[in-house]
Amino acid sequence: MENSLLYPISNCYRVRISLDGLWKFQFDPEHKGLAENWKDGLKNPISMPVPASFSDLFTTARERDYCGDFWYETEFFVPEDAFSKDIVIRFGSVTHRAVVFCNGIEVGSHEGGFLPFSVKINKAVVPGKPNRLVVKANNELSETTIPCGRTITLSDGRKAAKPFFDFFNYAGIHRSVWLLLLPQESITDYSVDFRLEGQDAFVNYQVKTNGAHPVEVALYDQEGELAARASGNCGTLHVRNARLWKVRDAYLYRISIVLKDGDQILDEYSEKTGIRTVEIQGTKILINHEPVYLKGFGKHEDFDVLGRAFNWAVAKRDFECMKWTNANCFRTSHYPYAEEWYQMADEEGFLIIDEVPAVGMQPSLGIVDTGPRKYKYFFEAPSTAELLEVHKRQAAEMICRDKNHPSVIAWSLFNEPETISSYSKAYFSEVFDAAKDLDPQKRPRTGALELTSSPDSCQCFQLCDFICLNRYYGWYLFGGVELETAKQKFMEEMEKWGEKAPDIPFVFTEFGADTLGSEHKLPGNMWSQEYQVKYMQLYFDVFDSFDFIQGELVWNFADFMTSEGIIRVNGNKKGIFTRDRQPKDAAYLFRERWGR
């Protein structure tokens, strides 16, 4: 059960009970919680909302920037008649790692702050009485975890995170926590892939259970009418006159999986699904055999006060803003988002490039401080073998969780790593091979390359089914009065890419300029809204000059928080929207361009 990443549902056979709310919370800077048995109850707790990032809830820098161990505690009740079920606690995410105790007994642990995990607690829970749930969490960074960074000790003895990435290292229980009551013999996973023939669709499925009894699978249309049925743990559903899931025109069926012992139903799992295919053909990205040009955003799970916590209202506002700009796509930069984002994208017909948290894999980019390093190349260090296993495991968890979402059209397996050495090529070859084997739909695999990964130096672009580029001509280099030079250099690079990789699509996954929403200048200077508009027009001119460019995902959807630094004014201001989701002038430019 610990490996099942199915989204929690309730029906006649499954029960989900929310444990969200105010929990007890305590920092543990001296790492004494284990020795003092905080697993049996916190000693001097304060209240803490779940889900939430803890950093932005405090008024002191010591608490906002806290790095180290921290603990959560809550109580829950399980009725006595529930013990015929598997009793499971399911965490949407705990950033970055967690150890879980139930009534003082360790019941599980997890590494990776952006993906769910579950723990079975039958042997620890007490029927008919309040049960204590305690979580020991930690948000320290290292070069063997993703995202990458390091942890330093300040002069006063406190620890501090030094991310190798340009977004705030928010931590906490960021997503919902559920108490699940599940059948002892249950459905643990399923997968689907699709084949289109004329007006019909063939849905190949595989179902995993933790027992030996057979399953029946059915597909129902949006009116609740049966569209197809099949029996067996693997098989094919033949859908006649299939309604396809299309870009910004979603049609969702409901797949129902029933586990049976004769006429008795042991378990049932159902959720919405869409029929669509994804493929790369030459320089085109095809959805249902039709070319699509990607228009949209790099994003962050980031909002004032909430930090990185999931919130339905924020997600709704984001989708409405994206629809207003006529976008059709976003990248989950730089980590898998809460599952609810994907459910909404399924409903709205948005495309997602789903990204594993492989960010910060560079010796130095000048934006972030990676500190002194013994090795010239990032993947040259002996610790790389440990990092590789962490990377592959988190990619596997992401693909397992998200593989059935029609909105997910590609896997992004890195963001801006060092790719100019033989070490990096060997490293990423393993990651890309593992991802291909894991995905039943064989979606395209990609990753975002920054400027040092040039057509003359990059050794990893050949691994990608389509190539993603992050470029900042006109901002980090050749900015301001050199904007025309920026355009010339940009055009020259793209001409080289056209010669180097002529038969593959290119998608720009980052391009942008920091802009203060309050700043207007004539003529447009850097940081003004006028400059951001002029900068974007430069990029549009370049994009429109090359047929192999098949997408533009601007950086960023909205302003977001970063670590403190002299090039950041209370965070990254490259948003097309402000952090409170109001449009800057450039948003109107994108709305007009993408609405053509």
Residue 164's CATH number: 2.60.120.260
Asked, for residue 5, whether it belongs to a domain, the answer is no
Lowest mean pLDDT among 78-92, 232-246, 292-306, 456-470: 78-92
pLDDT of residue 376: 86
> Is there a single domain that holds both residue 475 and residue 369?
yes
Look at residue 503 and tell me if it is in a domain: yes
- Is 75 in the active site? no
From CA 375, how far away is CA 428, in angstroms rounded? 18
Is there a single domain that holds both residue 378 and residue 501?
Answer: yes
Judgement on whether residues 427 and 546 belong to the same structural domain of the protein: yes
Q: Mean pLDDT throughout 51-72?
A: 96
CA–CA separation, 7 vs 5, rounded Å?
A: 6
The answer to the question of residue 10 being in a domain is: no
pLDDT at 2 over 60: no
User: What whole-number distance in Å separates Cα of residue 164 and Cα of residue 428?
Assistant: 19
CATH number, domain with residue 454: 3.20.20.80
Rounded CA separation 207/187 (Å): 7
Overall average pLDDT of the 257-286 stretch: 97
Q: What is the pLDDT of residues 320-339, one digit of tens each?
A: 999 999 999 999 999 999 99
Instruction: Tell me the average pLDDT across 15-41.
Output: 97
Domain-embedded: residue 467:
yes
One-letter amino acid at 557 equals F
Other CB atoms within 10 Å distance of the CB of residue 145:
21
Residue type, 60: T
Catalytically annotated residue among 73, 143, 301, 510: 510
Residue 5 in tokens: 């990443």
User: Residue 352: what pLDDT?
Assistant: 98
Give the model's pLDDT for residue 365: 64
Cα torsion 484, 485, 491, 497 to 10°: value is -150
Give me 360's structure tokens: 């910060």
Q: Are residues 259 and 357 in the same domain?
A: no
pLDDT band at residue 81 under the 50/70/90 scheme: confident
Do residue 163 and residue 195 come from a single domain?
Answer: no
Q: Are strands 159-163 and 215-220 parallel, antiparallel or unpaired?
A: unpaired
pLDDT 10s digits, 460-476: 999 999 999 999 999 99
Q: Which residues contact 140 (CB under 8 A, 6 or more apart)?
A: 67, 68, 96, 151, 159, 161
Q: Which of 276, 302, 322 is the last residue of a domain?
A: 276
* Same domain assignment for residues 266 and 327: no
Element (H, E) at 384: helix 384-402
Active-site residue flag, 416: yes
pLDDT score for 82: 87
Ramachandran bin of 479, using left for φ above 0, alpha for ψ from -120 to 50, beta for the remaining angles: beta
pLDDT at 272 over 70: yes
**46: β partners:** 25
Residues 495 and 376 in one domain: yes
Q: Which of 143, 339, 416, 450 is catalytic?
A: 416
pLDDT at site 596 = 87
At 366, is the pLDDT very low, low, confident or very high (cuts 50, 70, 90)?
low
**CA nearest 92: which of 301, 249, 264?**
301
Using the structure block, give the residue that is written with the tokens 């990607």: 294
| Alpha-carbon span 366 to 390, nearest angstrom | 26
User: Is residue 440 located within the same domain as residue 352?
Assistant: yes
* pLDDT category of residue 485 using cuts at 50, 70 and 90: very high
**Residue ending a domain, choose from 148, 182, 216:** 182
pLDDT category at 1 given cuts 50, 70, 90 is: very low
Q: Where is the domain boundary, 182, 216, 237? A: 182
Same domain assignment for residues 174 and 267: no
Residue 352's domain comprises: 290-594
- The CA-to-CA distance between both ends of the chain, in Å, stands at 49
- Indicate the number of domains in the chain: 3
Check pLDDT > 80 for residue 369. no
Same domain, 175 and 309: no
Yes or no: say if 81 and 160 are a contact pair by the CB < 8 Å rule.
Answer: no
Question: Per residue in 374-413, pLDDT tens?
Answer: 788 999 999 999 999 999 999 999 999 999 999 999 999 9
Percent of residues, the chain, with pLDDT higher than 70: 98
Contact 236, 230 (CB under 8 A): yes
92 shares a domain with 25: yes
pLDDT tens-digit readout, 181-220: 999 999 999 999 999 999 999 999 999 999 999 999 999 9
State whether 421 and 510 are in the same domain.
yes
